[in-house]
Amino acid sequence: MKRLFDIVTASAGLIVLSPVLLVLAAWIKMDSPGPVFFRQERIGRNKEPFRVFKFRSMSHREPASIDQNSEKVVSSGDDDRITTSGRILRALSLDELPQLINVVTGDMSLVGPRPIIPDQLEVVPHWFEDRFKVRPGITGLAQVKGRRSLSWEEQLVYDNKYANTWTLLGDMKILVLTIWVVLARKGIYGDDSKNWRAYREEWKRYSNSTRSS
């Protein structure tokens, strides 16, 4: 039922929103050099990799050239890497709309844990790996509970909780709450202290102390 709901809703969304998607694509193309879409490898269900679609909201760089371990956190809309159109796209989460394609193809669901990048796998402790039992989502429980204002560990807690307790009715509730969160523009940006990169050092210390004991 979840998969059927995803296919029907995402397909309808792509059809209904197609004029909006075309306008946004033209705006991005005119606003800055580079492709309309940003495609990046992400980790999906059962840790299978896939390519996610997003509208490009930053100055163009090849994904392979970005060192995620040292990349500066986007902590505000004033970041000079973000394009003019990108500020609006991010503020209204419109950059996520192309992921409806990922939902139709089966790589993602409308609701689920957000898909992580491969570098983040090393900072997902084994007790949080239930999050990989379900397809990643365009939105999810962590997104309606605080988005990027949550710490990395808090996000993982909500991801696991979702994976172990999801229901179709719960998915519909999260979708409705997502509309409110987007309109309220809550949790769009986070800071370095709550980022997965900061947690990585803490996790490494814990792992090393566990192995030595």
Q: What is the pLDDT of residue 101?
A: 97
- pTM of the complete model: 0.86
Neighbours of 10 (CB within 10 A): 21
- Report the b/e string of 135-149 with b at 16+ CB within 10 A: bbbbbbbbbbbbbbe
Closest CA to 38 of 81, 98, 94, 108: 98
* Segment 90-114, tens digit of pLDDT: 989 999 999 999 999 999 999 999 9
CA atoms within 13 A on the CB side of 76: 3
- Examine the pLDDT at 142 and tell me if it is beyond 70: yes
The partner residues of 40 in beta bridges, in order of sequence, read 52
Return the SS3 of 116. Answer: strand
Q: Which percentage of the chain shows pLDDT scores above 90?
A: 69
